[in-house]
Amino acid sequence: MKKIQIIFLTAMIAAVLTAFSTEMNAQSIMGGHYKKALIIGAHPDDPESMCGGTMLMLKNQGCEVVCVYFTQGEGGIPGKSEEEARAIRHQEALNSCAYMGIRPLFMTQVDGRSEITKERYDEMKDLIAKENPDIVITHWPIDSHRDHRNCALLVFDSWRRLDHGFDLYFTEVMSGNQTLNFLPTSYVDITPVREQKIAAYLCHKSQNLEGNIAKYHDTMEGMRGREYMCQWAEAFVQVLWNKERSTK
């Protein structure tokens, strides 16, 4: 066999093995074992943007899903006061959750002025402890938006303080623009509910989100779909923990 043929054959085998390994090792969230999920996003529209499809897929499996809004988007409507923007975006979040059939929950941080303090650590921990989920999904902590980073770090700290008592996943929002250096470990095929995800996302009418669908979501969710060998997918990084090998 000629050298070029050997190289080509080796490359083909490697590609097949890589694809097979990705399919076998990707830990799908959709195992049917989760009973309650908290999706914690920094602003109204963030939970729907980053994993609205997964929220719907989990709900369809019988999992109780709670959509937690870290802030109420007070700084998100140019020309509106914080109070006016809060009222508008609060209602849009209610509309989105009503469309999905998912319970909303609102925290007390302020858009653009979120804090990491002892009191805020306790607030997040107490909320998660009260809800008692077995899975929490939140922002990737390396993100261009400060509120996203603060939200992720408060959730991560709560996971540690609550003795790693739930599965923690980070996810992406508009990778390449906001989320940076994101390499997934887990995927969810959202093809069956992709249209509903987009409809829930567009309930946030004040944000004029239509342009984001082709610019970001089609590209990102299509790429994740190709990685997971489906049409549309959302991607995640699971934070791993081994109690037997860890001392704290």
**Tens-digit pLDDT profile for residues 22-54:** 443 445 788 878 999 999 999 999 999 999 999
Q: How confident is the model at residue 15 (pLDDT cuts 50, 70, 90)?
A: very low
Q: How crowded is residue 92: how many other Cβ atoms within 10 Å of its Cβ?
A: 20
Q: pLDDT tens for residues 134-167?
A: 999 999 999 999 999 999 999 999 999 999 999 9
Please report, for the chain, the start and end positions of each structural domain, with discontinuous segments joined by +.
Answer: 3-241
User: In 3D, which of 21, 73, 12 has the Cα closest to residue 44?
Assistant: 73
Q: pLDDT tens for residues 76-131?
A: 889 999 999 999 999 999 999 999 999 999 999 999 999 999 999 999 999 999 99
Residue 160 vs residues 71, 128, 193: alpha-carbon distances, Å: 23, 12, 33
94-99's contacts with Cβ under 8 Å and 24+ in sequence apart are 95/203, 96/44, 96/45, 96/48, 96/67, 96/200, 96/201, 96/203, 96/204, 97/67, 99/196, 99/199, 99/200, 99/203
Predicted structure pTM score: 0.88
User: In 3D, which of 122, 118, 156, 119 has the Cα closest to residue 137?
Assistant: 156
Q: Residue 246: pLDDT above 80?
A: no
CATH class of the domain whose range is 3-241: alpha beta
| Percentage of residues in the chain having pLDDT higher than 90 | 80
Question: Quick check: 141 and 170 in contact, CB under 8 A?
Answer: yes
